[in-house]
Structure 1
Amino acid sequence: MELYLRGDIEQAWGDSDPFQEVEKLQGDIYRNKEGRVTLQTQINGKSFFVKIHRGIGWKEIFKNLLQLRLPIIGASNEFAAAEKLAALGVDTLTTAAFGKKGINPAKQHSFILTDDLSNTISLEDYCADWKNNPPSFAHKKALIALLAKVSRIMHGAGINHRDYYICHFLLEKNSLADLSSPQCYLIDLHRAQLRKKTPQRWAIKDIAGLYFSAMDIGLTKRDCLRFIKIYSGQASLKNLNVSFWRAVNDKALALYQKDHGQPSPCEKWW
């Protein structure tokens, strides 16, 4: 068994079994399927989000494996990814409690409780009208730089997200007082993978997903090249791994075609 309780949660639950306390939590349910429930809840008047994994069963595990997908069997990856990203200086989920018990992956019981990032707006919602009402150049440049930096740190540390879209970045509203210095939290880490080094194909998948999710907000080719330079850590575009970025571009364009049934409004980079 693995268990972590922050001081406020340890005090709230006392000597009770944390796994039983988690199951008593009630609130607004955001997801309840495939052995996982996600809900917003209150503990001593403070808002939290909790994900409870109750085991997905061998049938679901084999189904995922046959589809060449890694099954999500518990909260361990999300906990580990959040802790590592925070240690790297990336704004992300703050874990208040985590627990895991059971060896059988099909029946493993686990949970992760995180602080509610209440004063935020997803980048998907925040940028939705950019095409019609563009932001200032400095603000857009700052956000692009932030996402490129987070992506570079994450992949450089051996983490890939697997659900890497702008909707999974939450913009802190208080940071909008200074548009040149936005603050975003990276969330939904339950599918994240942690290794010593991020395989190129998974880095491509992440960046392509991020680009695909931002294709309707009015990005220009210059915006994309700015992201590429920062992510690559190159002062010039001459030394880029062009095959990597072609793969990112092609995958993002294909995702858009598949999802929207029409070509992307964004042009090819090369």
Structure 2
Amino acid sequence: MQDMGNKILVWLPSPMGDAVLCTPALRAIRRHFSSSEITFLAEPVVREVLSPSDYNDKWLELQRRNPFAIAKMLKEHKFTHAILFKNSLASALAVVVAAIPLRIGYAREGRGVLLTEKLYPPKLPNGKYEPYSMIDYYLAIASKLGAKTDGRNLELLVDPKCSGALMTKMPEVDEAGGPVVIIVPGGAFGPSKCWPSDRFSQTADWLIDNYNATVVISVSPEPAEKKIAEEICAASKNTLLNLSGRNVSLGELKALFSKASLVITNDTGPRHIAIALQRKLVTLFGPNDPAWTETNYENEIQVVGNVNCAPCAEPTCKQTKHACMQAITVEMVCSAAQQLLENNRGQTVVYARQKFIKTSDSFFLDSDYKTSFGELGLTSIDKVFSFNAAKNLVKKNLAGYRSRLQFEVNSPSTTLFLKRYEKPPILIQLKNWLHTHSRKSCGLIEVEHINRLAEAGINTPKVISYGQQWGLFFEKRSFIITEKILRAESLERNLPNYFTGTGSAENLKLRRAFIAQLADFIKRFHETRYCHRDLYFSHIFYSDKGCFYLIDLARAFRPIILHKRFKIKDIAQLYYSAPAKYFSNTDRLHFYHRYTGRDKIVNGDKSLIRKILNKANRMAKHDVRHSRLAPFVSQCD
């Protein structure tokens, strides 16, 4: 279509994120119709986020929903063209009633007959729309008009007045000694897109501890999002800037984003603002397919919760556990943030659940390790069980059918641990089948435990490879290979410095926060219905990113009966292994209060505490027989 002094109405999409994704198409239309008068029709929030704009001459605000009332307003302007980025039937009806001669948009929602120029979105064989980027979806409309659509980059401008107003409201941003990091924990789509608040808190603390970051929590004025921000700030051991109490406009929010060194966000509108302002970005994807909003932005790392039920596109999770967002760990997000802050980006997409390939019969391998395993000759179960180019981790009282090895690989460079089970005793197998309610090999049982716990948000070692072979009925042999937890130590070997340092008020605060975090971790573990036969400090790791991990999950199980009894045993093992030198009785009581969620001891608690202490004391008697002092027993006792 030629540019001949037309009066063009562009009906912009909503919500805010879609409007930003529309900017490449708006730019193309402006260039093509440079002599025409272009008017944008949009909701107030869309106008605020797109202003100021070089792509239009005038604005009309969409204040009403009634298509006939809108048509009456539009008719006064005598538009020659109506470009409908809005997909609704009402928008097409309004421009027909307004007698706008040329009407272009997608023929969907039953409105095709109302359009003079129409496009058809691609569909899958099942009739659903095929996921593809909304950038290209909108650019197709511009192309239909004859515009050149060679640029896909998002673009927004910041009003200098908004920048000045922001500095008045948030002087901390200009005074920041380290990077400014914005965390966006909400989402207008619904709660299914939201990553857990406590993980945002841990991520914020890691950024502050490692980069002296100024962390801003950005949420909408909605009460639900304000609550999320309050939860994050309350759980953090540091002071975070909560934007919900600063009365910041969208224009000022853009100014804030323009000053950010990094943005960490759920899959929501502010993600597109960050891209349009060319900020470094970590985006967390769960229920929605990333293909819908793909931008190919070079400074973004996407972390995708690619579990079996995702993408579901449901605003509220229909499952009992929010598996997709739970599968995204703090470690994954912090690692992505580190890559971007240090200009060392590796992967553009990080998947929460690995993609395994079957290299031979009953041998499964993380695809990232195919080259390394090929170099080592680890291409089949036979090769795994004959492999000896590794350090043998000899352990006292290790059963004869089990072996443990440690070895290194170069691509990717890391340390791996191999557990092999060869001809496990039949009684052991029967016991395992009883606990798991199914016939599984020893190696596969641990793989299953790791996957289930990871989906529930419990940090576990990463499985790299596994396999099994069966005889006529019983297991012949099986194995599991896991990756070393990077920059982490067991609580038995190493506690944070604030436990071993001076008893200052700051160290006391950090210790209490650590104990609360540990209690939350154990509580979440027990909420999965799992227990651990050896829940000692030696099997709980703590990383430099402030995350707890649970290892040796061959020992984990879901008791059919006596679940409470096994939980008591778990807590008693924790109590037993917590050194008296660093954990006082008050600390232990703080743990108990946090674990139970009760501030005061009630009658039922007294009985439970007594059982925990009795169990710990029975463990201590075993140490006495071997002339050892139990960890929880003070040297002075």
Q: TM-score, normalised by structure 2?
A: 0.36
Q: 1:229 and 1:239, CA in 2 relative to 1: closer, same or farther beyond 3 A?
A: farther
Measured in 1, the distance between the counterparts of 2:470 and 2:610 equals: 44
3-state SS in 2 of match to 1:255: helix
| 2:384 maps to which of 22, 28, 43 | 22
Q: 1:239 and 1:47, CA in 2 relative to 1: closer, same or farther beyond 3 A?
A: same
3-state SS in 1 of match to 2:574: helix
Q: Deviations over 1:222-247 (max 9, x none)?
A: 21111111211224333754322221
The match for 1:224 is 588
The match for 1:257 is 621
1:61 Cα offset (Å): 4.0
Letter of the 2:453 counterpart: L
The match for 2:510 is 139
Question: Residue 362 of structure 2 contacts residue 468 of structure 2 at CA under 8 Å; is this kept in 1?
Answer: yes
| 1:201 maps to which of 554, 562, 565 | 565
The match for 2:466 is 98
Q: Deviations over 1:164-208 (max 9, x none)?
A: 100112221x33xxxxxx222211111111357871111111111
Letter of the 2:469 counterpart: K
3-state SS in 1 of match to 2:535: coil
How many residues get paired? 253
The match for 1:160 is 531
1:117 Cα offset (Å): 1.9
3-state SS in 2 of match to 1:126: coil
Question: Residue 77 of structure 1 contacts residue 191 of structure 1 at CA under 8 Å; is this kept in 2?
Answer: no
1:89 Cα offset (Å): 1.5
The match for 1:75 is 443
Question: Residue 130 of structure 1 contacts residue 217 of structure 1 at CA under 8 Å; is this kept in 2?
Answer: no
Question: Residue 418 of structure 2 contacts residue 481 of structure 2 at CA under 8 Å; is this kept in 1?
Answer: yes
Q: Which range moves more in the overlay, 239-248 or 126-135?
A: 126-135
Q: Deviations over 1:240-261 (max 9, x none)?
A: 5432222111111221232135
Measured in 2, the distance between the counterparts of 1:211 and 1:236 equals: 19
Q: Which range moves more in the overlay, 242-251 or 202-211?
A: 242-251
3-state SS in 1 of match to 2:607: helix
Q: Which range moves more in the overlay, 133-142 or 6-15?
A: 6-15
Question: Residue 461 of structure 2 contacts residue 549 of structure 2 at CA under 8 Å; is this kept in 1?
Answer: yes
Q: TM-score, normalised by structure 1?
A: 0.78
Question: Residue 49 of structure 1 contacts residue 115 of structure 1 at CA under 8 Å; is this kept in 2?
Answer: yes
Measured in 2, the distance between the counterparts of 1:214 and 1:104 equals: 46
RMSD of aligned alpha carbons: 3.5
1:83 Cα offset (Å): 1.2
Letter of the 1:223 counterpart: D
The match for 1:234 is 598
Question: Residue 160 of structure 1 contacts residue 198 of structure 1 at CA under 8 Å; is this kept in 2?
Answer: no
The match for 1:245 is 609
Q: 1:222 and 1:110, CA in 2 relative to 1: closer, same or farther beyond 3 A?
A: same
| 1:188 maps to which of 552, 558, 566 | 552
1:158 Cα offset (Å): 1.2
Q: 1:124 and 1:105, CA in 2 relative to 1: closer, same or farther beyond 3 A?
A: farther
The match for 1:115 is 483
Question: Residue 498 of structure 2 contacts residue 508 of structure 2 at CA under 8 Å; is this kept in 1?
Answer: no
Question: Residue 9 of structure 1 contacts residue 96 of structure 1 at CA under 8 Å; is this kept in 2?
Answer: yes
Q: Does residue 1:211 correspond to 2:564, yes or no?
A: no
Measured in 2, the distance between the counterparts of 1:3 and 1:241 equals: 48
1:3 Cα offset (Å): 5.1
3-state SS in 2 of match to 1:53: strand
| 1:88 maps to which of 433, 456, 464 | 456
Question: Residue 521 of structure 2 contacts residue 548 of structure 2 at CA under 8 Å; is this kept in 1?
Answer: no
The match for 2:157 is none
Measured in 2, the distance between the counterparts of 1:138 and 1:46 equals: 35
Q: 1:211 and 1:134, CA in 2 relative to 1: closer, same or farther beyond 3 A?
A: farther
Q: 1:192 and 1:164, CA in 2 relative to 1: closer, same or farther beyond 3 A?
A: same
Measured in 1, the distance between the counterparts of 2:517 and 2:471 equals: 39
Q: Deviations over 1:130-171 (max 9, x none)?
A: 987566212321221222112111111111111110011222
The match for 1:179 is none
Letter of the 1:86 counterpart: A
Q: Deviations over 1:28-50 (max 9, x none)?
A: 11136421111111234432111
Q: 1:92 and 1:132, CA in 2 relative to 1: closer, same or farther beyond 3 A?
A: closer
The match for 1:7 is 367
Letter of the 1:217 counterpart: K
Larger Rg: 2
Letter of the 2:606 counterpart: V
